Structure 1
Amino acid sequence: MNTSIDLPEMKVFAAVVTDGSFTAAAERLGTDKARVSRIVRRMEEKLGARLLTRSTRRLNVTEVGRDYFERAVCILTAAEAAEAAVAQQSREPKGLLKITAGSEFGTMVVDDWIAAFLRLAPKVTVEMEYTNRLVDIIHEGFDVAIRVGTLEDSGLSARKLGEVVYGLYATSDYLSGRPVLSAVSDLKHHDLIMKTTRGRANWFLINSTSTEKITAPPRCAVNSMIAAKNLVLEGLGIAQLPRFMAEPYVANGRLSCVLPGWAENPAPVHAVFASSRYMDPKVRSFVDLCVSMFTGDDIHAE
């Protein structure tokens, strides 16, 4: 068996497994399906093992193929890191930067970071995906993920950018003529707009000394902070919102903060990437910019 490593062939095979078909891999690599199929067949002949099983309806990875894929990804990542280490000598960000972030935080915050970065780095192009699923940045080819909340132990590198802080908000129209709101226990007499988490609608409100769990049935349960903000602005109740989302409306008088000091714990925000040792200049530059822009009273920087 010829064991020489052919990185271009390895990259083709990794694309087939990641995308699930020859056609999708060909589109990603800018080539044609027949060429991709020939390369995989040649790899199988060279390795003396079946990597994929093919049928008219689907493509399956064999056990040997799965093991080869996982090792191939490690080799390709190491090769990219080696190239990135050399590229760092120039320190000029360039090339394609693939970023992913959650839909709400991405469109309300990360968009501004990307706009500033594109102005800062004219030789960089950006491909951005907004999704609330947990993206496998290595297998899916992303350079950076912006994640809100506690990180799982994934083995990836991460840099904490800061924290999102929260508060309770309502309109003056809603509060007028309603029961006095001077303690957390008073919330049971009010209409609450709650963001659901895995189907549960409740709040864990914390101040400097104690914690209160609010389980009163909400007037409206939603799975979107943007939806909660919109309903609050309509004067339909009290919602817990990120300060970066609510404070502009406090400044123009449309919202008021109620029960100041009570809110759920701040949520950490991280930039997640493959390696901190050999960061491509465009990745390092983007993460540094995110840190510099993560400032102000509404979003707490580290």
Structure 2
Amino acid sequence: MNTSIDLAEMRVFAAVVTDGSFTAAAERLGTDKARASRIVRRMEKKLGAQLLTRSTRRLSVTEVGRDYFERAVCILTAAEAAEAAVAQQTKEPKGLLKVTAGSEFGPMVVDDWIAAFLRQSPKVTVEAEYTNRLVDLIHEGFDVAVRVGELEDSGLSARRLGEVAYGLYASPDYLRRGPTLSAVEDLKHHDLIMKRTRGRSNWTLVNGSSVERVMSSPRCAVNNTIAAKNLALAGLGIAQLPCFIAEPYVTDGALSCVLPGWAEVPAPVHAVFASSRYMDPKVRSFVDLSLSVFSGGSS
């Protein structure tokens, strides 16, 4: 069977569609905008079909182009899997590893994993994107995602790395000034620092088989863990924090754990990737290292 498939050209076209512009795709692929544009025009001439519509303001994909893109992604993924299967024979991680993680968990935890990974893998480079949106690993070309919380059924492979445990913390200064705190019901008399989720601020605290809902209005509602930690350190109230973030401050005496044993259910942490059957050595190596060094407060 004769075919005009050129994987290099196909990769350029897929990048243009994924990134939404020739400029962004060229930057990611290490080429220039003009060359990327020429490649796509050459593909269109060869295929006898218009894949993209261009204007001074925007770039859009035609119906034919969208169908070609979907098939191209499958072909590129299969080609990469074939290369990965061969690369497994060498057992040496090399090439570019694209990692994504949450905008908080990435800088706080995954950065350390990447640093350790680069030190042990001199032939690997890493590109990391930290975002709270759900990244499409296949279409966006990522090798592995580190996700905190229960996983959706996506058809991807995953490996559990551990879990993030939580606790309630406040500064010793705040506790000296505050009312008595010996039971969960006492929290209604305290200043609380809560993360706001979907417009609501509340805690569901668990201790063994006991469950308590804390519905008090917070003194301060924030949208990220670092802010909650900073406000607790400033003596402004009680915050629920991941143990791995809070414990160093407990050791230094800047925070104290209150109502020990009461906290939200630990959140599982997974590495998510395309396939466990033909894992590229760099992906396998990164996941193995992450598992070995992760301490989320559950151990």
TM-score, normalised by the number of residues in structure 2: 0.95
**Conserved in 2, the CA contact under 8 Å of 1:101 and 1:147?**
yes
The answer for unaligned runs of 5 or more in structure 1 is none
**Conserved in 2, the CA contact under 8 Å of 1:201 and 1:221?**
yes
Q: What is the identity, as a one-letter code, of the residue corresponding to 2:69?
A: F
1:121 corresponds in structure 2 to 121
Cα displacement (A) at 1:299: 2.5
2:148 corresponds in structure 1 to 148
2:189 corresponds in structure 1 to 189
Cα displacement (A) at 1:36: 2.4
Determine the C-alpha separation between the residues in 2 that align with 1:194 and 1:66. Answer: 44
Determine the C-alpha separation between the residues in 2 that align with 1:285 and 1:23. Answer: 32
Render the CA deviation track for 1:218-273: whole Å, top value 9, x for unaligned.
00001111111111111111010000011111122221111111111111111111
Which shifted more, 282-291 or 42-51?
Answer: 42-51
Cα displacement (A) at 1:177: 4.1
User: Where in structure 2 are the equivalents of 1:90-105 lying within 5 Å?
Assistant: 90-105=90-105
User: Where in structure 2 are the equivalents of 1:245-256 lying within 5 Å?
Assistant: 245-256=245-256
Determine the C-alpha separation between the residues in 2 that align with 1:23 and 1:182. Answer: 59
Indicate how the Cα distance of structure 1 residues 42 and 272 shifts in structure 2: closer, same or farther if over 3 A, else same.
same
1:173 corresponds in structure 2 to 173
Cα displacement (A) at 1:42: 2.7
User: Where in structure 2 are the equivalents of 1:129-278 lying within 5 Å?
Assistant: 129-278=129-278
Indicate how the Cα distance of structure 1 residues 30 and 170 shifts in structure 2: closer, same or farther if over 3 A, else same.
closer
Cα displacement (A) at 1:37: 2.5
SS class of match (1:241): strand
Determine the C-alpha separation between the residues in 1 that align with 2:90 and 2:297. Answer: 33
Which shifted more, 126-135 or 266-275?
Answer: 126-135
Cα displacement (A) at 1:198: 1.8
Determine the C-alpha separation between the residues in 2 that align with 1:156 and 1:268. Answer: 17
SS class of match (2:109): helix
Which shifted more, 272-281 or 217-226?
Answer: 272-281
2:297 corresponds in structure 1 to 299
**Conserved in 2, the CA contact under 8 Å of 1:168 and 1:241?**
yes
Cα displacement (A) at 1:140: 2.1
Q: Tell me the C-alpha RMSD between the 2 structures.
A: 1.7
Cα displacement (A) at 1:289: 0.4
Determine the C-alpha separation between the residues in 1 that align with 2:159 and 2:259. Answer: 32
2:16 corresponds in structure 1 to 16
2:46 corresponds in structure 1 to 46
SS class of match (1:168): strand
Q: What is the identity, as a one-letter code, of the residue corresponding to 1:154?
A: S
**Conserved in 2, the CA contact under 8 Å of 1:232 and 1:239?**
yes
Render the CA deviation track for 1:146-186: whole Å, top value 9, x for unaligned.
11111222222111101001011112211114222111111
SS class of match (1:122): coil
Render the CA deviation track for 1:41-73: whole Å, top value 9, x for unaligned.
232233232211122221110112111101111
Tell me whether 1:35 sits opposite 2:38 in the alignment: no
Indicate how the Cα distance of structure 1 residues 277 and 187 shifts in structure 2: closer, same or farther if over 3 A, else same.
same
Determine the C-alpha separation between the residues in 2 that align with 1:109 and 1:283. Answer: 18
Which shifted more, 19-28 or 221-230?
Answer: 19-28
SS class of match (1:282): helix
The answer for unaligned runs of 5 or more in structure 2 is none
SS class of match (2:288): helix
SS class of match (2:137): coil
**Conserved in 2, the CA contact under 8 Å of 1:229 and 1:239?**
yes
SS class of match (2:60): strand
Q: What is the identity, as a one-letter code, of the residue corresponding to 1:53?
A: T
Q: What is the identity, as a one-letter code, of the residue corresponding to 2:136?
A: D
TM-score, normalised by the number of residues in structure 1: 0.94
Aligned length: 299
Q: What is the identity, as a one-letter code, of the residue corresponding to 1:144?
A: V
